[in-house]
Structure 1
Amino acid sequence: MPEEAYTLVRVVDKLLLFLYSIAIGAASIGLFCVGVRWIPEDTVVDSIRNLYGDEQWVQITATTVGVVLFLISLRLFYVSVKRSNGSTPSIDQRNEFGDVRISMETVENLALKAASRHRGLKDLRARIRVTDAGLDIVIRTVVEGDTSIPALTEEIQRSVKGHVEEITGIPVAGVSVFVANVVQAPAFKSRVE
Structure 2
Amino acid sequence: MLKIIGGRYIDNPEFGEDLILYKPVPGERQLEALKFIEENLMVEPTWLYRQDIMDKTRIDYSYYVLNFVSTTLGKLFTKASEVLKTEELSEAPFSYDLIIETMYKSIFESKCSKRGLTRYERMIQNEFITKLTIFGENQTSNGNGTGVLYKRVISDVKSICKSQIEKYPGTLEASHYQGIINYITIWENGKQSSILNNLQ
State the TM-score, normalized to the length of structure 1. 0.23
Of Structure 1 and Structure 2, the greater strand share is in: 1
Q: Which has the larger helix fraction?
A: 2
Looking at CA atoms only, which structure, 1 or 2, has the larger radius of gyration? 1
**Greater relative contact order (CA < 8 Å, ≥ 6 in sequence):** 2
TM-score between both structures, scaled by the size of structure 2 = 0.23
